[in-house]
Amino acid sequence: MFVKRTYIKFICAPLFMLFINGCVNTQINSDREALVNAGRGAVNVIITNYRVYRYALQEKNSDVTKSLVYATLTNANILKAFEEEAGNGYVIEESLNTRKLNEICWMAKFVRETKYVITPKEQDHYKDIYAWLNNKEQAWVKKINSSYTKDELGPDDCRK
C-alpha cells in the first residue's frame, strides 16, 4: 500500500505542475499582439529590399522594375492588412527607429515614382494601396524629419 501511494505522489505532483504551467501562455496574450509581432517581422523582411528600390528607381522602364512594382504593391498590401487586423490604433511605424523608417520609406517612394509603369486600369485596382502608401510615406518622412534636418541627409536618405 505504501508503494502505491509513493507512485501516486510521483505521478500526480508532476502532472499537477504540468497542468498548471502548461495552460498558461505568457508570450502572446491576444490575437492583436500576435498580429503586431507578425507585422514587425514583415516590416523587417520588406526593409531588406531598400537598396533594390533605390537602384530600381534608376532603371524605371525595365521588366524587372515592373515586376518589382507588383511585388512591392503586394508587400504594402500585407502591411496594410496587418494594421487593419490588429486594430486599436496600431501603426506599423510605432516600433521603428529612424533607420528602419528611412528604409521602409524607400518602398513608398519607389511605388510613388514608378506608378506610371503599370496601366491606369491596374493603378485603379491598387488605388487603396497607393492611397495607404501615400499617407504612410508622409507620416514616415515627418518622423524622419523630426529626427534629422534636411542638412543631415545621408547617402541612403529616402527624402532626396
Round to whole Å and give the CA distance between 71 and 67.
6
What pLDDT, on the 0 to 100 scale, is given for residue 108? 93
What pLDDT, on the 0 to 100 scale, is given for residue 18? 45
What are the start-end ranges of the E strands in 3-160? none
What pLDDT, on the 0 to 100 scale, is given for residue 72? 93
From the CA atom positions of the chain, what is the Rg in Å?
Answer: 24
What pLDDT, on the 0 to 100 scale, is given for residue 152? 66
Per-residue pLDDT of the chain (160 residues; tens, 9 = 90+): 454 555 454 454 554 444 444 454 455 567 777 777 777 777 887 888 888 888 888 887 788 888 999 999 999 999 999 888 888 888 888 888 888 898 899 999 999 999 999 999 999 999 999 999 999 999 999 988 888 766 666 777 888 7
Round to whole Å and give the CA distance between 77 and 134.
13
What residue spans define the domains of the chain?
A: 29-152
